[in-house]
Amino acid sequence: MNQEDESRWVIGTIEDGRKSDYWKLLKQCIIEWIDDENKRLDSYKQTSIAPDEVQKYNRTVDRVRYLNRMLTINETIVGYHRTFIEKVKDKVEDMVQKGESFFEEVFRR
Is residue 104 one of the residues assigned to a domain? no
- pLDDT at res. 36: 96
pLDDT above 70: residue 103? no
Stretch 69-97: mean pLDDT: 81
Is residue 103 one of the residues assigned to a domain? no
Is residue 102 one of the residues assigned to a domain? no
- pLDDT at res. 79: 87
Is residue 89 one of the residues assigned to a domain? no
Helix (H, G, I), strand (E, B) or coil at 48: coil
Return d(Cα 8, Cα 86) in angstroms, integer. Answer: 11
Is residue 56 one of the residues assigned to a domain? yes
pLDDT band at 31 (very low <50, low <70, confident <90, very high): very high
Is residue 90 one of the residues assigned to a domain? no
Closest among 26, 45, 76, 23 to 37, alpha carbons compared? 45
Q: Which domain holds residue 65?
A: 3-82
